[in-house]
């Protein structure tokens, strides 16, 4: 039976404990930002989405708190303190996983952020007839051996391949191979350890997108590539509230004096409610009633700011970024014009946007319907969010 018919039956170790000194000054490369997300999050998120049952994320001991922040909102992963060398970090990750000896395990370098479910499926298929499988690309360039910047030999590229990660193995076989490796020199990859133990390693199709972030210029290229791996999703929200006794209304996060109030379980800010629903819709996270049930007394009289910032947090946990918001208020009164700029400023603050990306408009229904009869008002909102594919 094909392994990839059981997409949940594999484990992962993501190695993110290195300092990445060749990447230049600043944060270690796994913790730098790539298109608004930490590099390490790209791999962990992709492997979980591909169906990993467990992901052990191996980090330097002082980075354990940072891992919690970088991977906020993801489930199914565990942070593990790594060792002084990569091989020790891999073994620490393996020790943190639970599974039978035959369970497939993928070892992946966090510095290769563009791994996909297709890569995983190809590796699991290649592993069926081997002790290990690695994605690899044939070497296309002429190879030179040299010293002191002088060529000493032209090396044949016949039969040479560039190995990438993730690399796939059986959990028991890889643990045993590392046990047999002992105190030998640091292996260049995990496949070498299994090879040394007599294992057969299959070559799966590699992918140029599995590039490794090594030098400063690699990050500039990765930013361009990351732009093509994100999409803009649009959500639409509607809310309406009835007028009742009161001396003010809240709209768009702004208090407006009025001869009536709006009736609602919270502060009845229809504008922020519509924006919240639009944002939740853009990230497919249900509606405002699911997150803040009107039957729950703790939300009675609550500021609707909390609802919108909660939705922003959910979007960010998915690697999303709000890029624009458009709010339309439908009412005869109160007049929106005098308060429009204050609403835009408050909404921009809540969404983390420049005010130029927030629109607030108003219209009437020319005396028709419940808004025309001033029985209540309605809000409609559109929010655009840039998210990973």
Question: What gap in Å lies between CA 139 and CA 161, rounded to an integer?
Answer: 5
Q: How long a stretch of residues is the chain?
A: 389
Burial of 150 (0-12, 13-18, 19+ CB in 10 A): exposed
pLDDT band at 5 (very low <50, low <70, confident <90, very high): very low
Cβ-count burial 208-238 (b if 16+ within 10 Å, e if not): ebbbebeeeebbeebeeebeeebeebebebe
Q: Which residues are bridge partners to 193 per DSSP?
A: none
Domain boundaries, the chain: 3-227, 230-388
Question: What gap in Å lies between CA 345 and CA 153, rounded to an integer?
Answer: 66
Mean pLDDT along residues 382-389: 87
Q: Which residues are bridge partners to 96 per DSSP?
A: none
The two beta strands, 358-363 and 321-330, are: parallel
The one-character DSSP state at 330 is E
- Position 13 scores a pLDDT of 98
- 86-137 pLDDT, tens digit per residue, is 999 999 999 999 999 999 999 999 999 999 999 999 999 999 999 999 999 9
Architecture of domain 3-227: Alpha-Beta Complex (3.90)
Q: With beta carbons less than 8 A apart as the criterion, state whether 149 and 161 touch.
A: no
Alpha-carbon distances, residue 226 vs 35, 132, 199 (angstroms): 6, 29, 36
E strands along the chain, which residues? 11-16, 33-34, 37-38, 54-59, 77-81, 104-109, 132-138, 143-147, 150-155, 161-163, 167-170, 201-205, 230-244, 248-251, 254-257, 261-262, 321-330, 358-363, 376-388
CA neighbor of 307 nearest in space, from 281, 277, 339: 277
pLDDT band at 278 (very low <50, low <70, confident <90, very high): very high
Asked if pLDDT for residue 6 goes beyond 50, the answer is no
Tokens matching residue 43: 């791999």
Mean pLDDT along residues 377-389: 91
CA neighbor of 321 nearest in space, from 329, 313, 333: 313
CA neighbor of 81 nearest in space, from 64, 106, 68, 97: 64
Cβ-count burial 1-26 (b if 16+ within 10 Å, e if not): eebbeeeebbbbbbbbbbebeebeee
Q: What is the mean pLDDT of the chain?
A: 91
pLDDT band at 350 (very low <50, low <70, confident <90, very high): very high
Look at the alpha carbons of 303, 305, 311, 314 in this order and tell me if their dihedral is positive or negative: negative
pTM for the model stands at: 0.64
pLDDT band at 8 (very low <50, low <70, confident <90, very high): low
Question: What gap in Å lies between CA 283 and CA 117, rounded to an integer?
Answer: 20
CB neighbourhood size of 260 (10 A): 18
Tokens 């500021």 -> residue: 303
- Position 52 scores a pLDDT of 94
- 168-217 pLDDT, tens digit per residue, is 999 999 999 999 998 778 999 999 999 999 999 999 999 999 999 988 88
- Position 241 scores a pLDDT of 97
Mean pLDDT along residues 372-377: 96
- 358-374 pLDDT, tens digit per residue, is 999 999 999 999 999 99
Mean pLDDT along residues 251-268: 94
Superfamily, domain 230-388: 2-C-methyl-D-erythritol 2,4-cyclodiphosphate synthase (3.30.1330.50)
pLDDT band at 74 (very low <50, low <70, confident <90, very high): confident
pLDDT band at 224 (very low <50, low <70, confident <90, very high): confident
Asked if pLDDT for residue 1 goes beyond 50, the answer is no
- 284-324 pLDDT, tens digit per residue, is 999 999 999 888 888 888 899 999 999 999 998 887 889 99
Question: What gap in Å lies between CA 326 and CA 317, rounded to an integer?
Answer: 23
């Amino acid at each position: 039976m094909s392994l990839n018919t059981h997409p949940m039956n594999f484990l992962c170790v993501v190695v993110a404990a290195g300092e990445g000194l060749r990447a230049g000054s600043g944060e270690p490369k796994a913790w730098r930002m790539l298109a608004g997300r930490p590099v390490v999050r790209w791999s962990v998120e992709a492997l979980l989405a591909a169906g990993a049952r467990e992901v052990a994320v191996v980090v330097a001991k002082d980075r354990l708190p940072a891992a919690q922040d970088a991977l906020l909102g993801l489930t199914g992963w565990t942070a593990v303190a790594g060792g002084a060398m990569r091989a020790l970090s891999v073994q620490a990750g393996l020790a943190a996983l639970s599974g039978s000896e035959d369970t497939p395990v993928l070892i992946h370098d966090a510095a290769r952020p563009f791994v996909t479910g297709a890569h995983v499926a190809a590796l699991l298929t290649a592993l069926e007839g081997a002790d290990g499988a690695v994605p690899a690309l044939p070497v296309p360039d002429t190879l030179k051996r040299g010293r002191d910047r002088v060529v000493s030999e032209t090396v044949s590229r016949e039969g040479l391949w560039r190995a990438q990660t993730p690399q796939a193995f059986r959990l028991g076989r890889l643990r045993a191979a590392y046990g047999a490796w002992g105190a030998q020199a640091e292996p260049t990859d995990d496949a070498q350890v299994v090879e040394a133990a007599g294992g057969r390693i299959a070559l799966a199709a590699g992918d140029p997108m599995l590039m490794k972030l090594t030098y400063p210029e690699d990050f500039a290229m990765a930013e361009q590539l990351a732009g093509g791996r994100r999409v803009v999703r649009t959500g639409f929200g509607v809310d309406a509230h009835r007028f009742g006794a009161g001396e003010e209304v809240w709209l768009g996060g702004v208090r407006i004096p009025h001869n009536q109030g709006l009736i609602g379980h919270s502060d009845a800010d229809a504008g922020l409610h519509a924006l919240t629903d639009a944002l939740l819709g853009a990230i497919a996270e249900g509606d405002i009633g699911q997150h803040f049930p009107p039957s729950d007394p703790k939300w009675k009289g609550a500021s609707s700011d909390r609802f919108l910032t909660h939705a922003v947090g959910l979007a960010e946990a998915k690697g999303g970024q709000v890029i624009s918001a458009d709010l339309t208020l439908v009412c005869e009164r109160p007049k929106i014009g005098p308060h429009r700029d204050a609403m835009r400023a408050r909404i921009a603050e809540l969404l983390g946007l420049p005010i130029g990306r927030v629109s607030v408009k108003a219209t009437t229904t020319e005396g028709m319907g419940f808004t025309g009869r001033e029985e209540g008002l309605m809000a409609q909102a559109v929010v655009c969010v840039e998210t990973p594919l």
